[in-house]
Each structure stands twice: as structure tokens, then as C-alpha cells.
Amino acid sequence: MEKDIGKIKKNDQTDIVVRIDDFGGRVGLTIREFVSSDKYTGFTKAGVRIPSSEFLRFREMVNSVSLDDMKDENATSKPASSSASKKPAKKPSNEDLDDY
């Protein structure tokens, strides 16, 4: 039994494929890279398989992630400040420096 759930494009030659399959007589969810290139076309070793006995636990973990958790902290925009309000940086005096 094989049922493709979906795929996500990783780059020009690689997709991440999510599927339900039967491996060794055991049903599970497989998340694996699929490569299409001149040298090789097919699934790679890169990936993971979740056995059906652990699927509910895996789904709970994924569902516990919020969209806020997935926000890129570096992509958040900082409020623009006018150059008129900028003050020159204060040079630290010896009293401001920590002793080591």
C-alpha cells in the first residue's frame, strides 16, 4: 500500500515527499527526499519514517507548533528611526568596563 500525501519543493532537483507506505509489512508515514537529476532519479536515504503505532504522538507534536513559533526572528521589521534623533555612541570609560 502506497499513498502519496503531498510534496514540498526543496530546490530545483529535490522534493520532500510525504507518503503512507507499507515497509516490511508495517504501515507508516514516510517523509523522504526525492531527487530528479541526470545521475539519479528516486528516493534518497535522507528522511524519516514514523511507524503507525507512533503516528498519533507525532501528529500531536506537529500540531503543538504554532505559526508564531515558525516566524523568522531575523525577518521582523524594525521601526525606522529618523537620523535627527540619533545620538553619537558614548565611549565606555574605564569605570563602565567589567573587571576580569
Q: How far apart are CA 43 and CA 30, in angstroms?
A: 11
Q: Structural domain of residue 36, as residue ranges?
A: 2-66
With respect to residue 16, please indicate whether it lies within any of the assigned structural domains. yes
Domain count, the chain: 1
With respect to residue 49, please indicate whether it lies within any of the assigned structural domains. yes
What tens digit of pLDDT does each residue of 45-95 get? 889 999 999 999 999 999 999 999 888 877 655 555 544 545 555 544 555
With respect to residue 91, please indicate whether it lies within any of the assigned structural domains. no
Q: How far apart are CA 60 and CA 64, in angstroms?
A: 6
* Beta-bridge partners for 41: 36
With respect to residue 71, please indicate whether it lies within any of the assigned structural domains. no
**Whose grid coordinates read 531527487?**
35
Scanning 1-100, the segments in alpha helix (DSSP H) are 55-63
What tens digit of pLDDT does each residue of 20-54 get? 999 899 999 999 999 999 999 998 888 999 999 99
What's phi and psi for 73, nearest 5 deg? -65, -30
The CATH number assigned to the domain holding 49 equals 2.30.31.10
With respect to residue 17, please indicate whether it lies within any of the assigned structural domains. yes
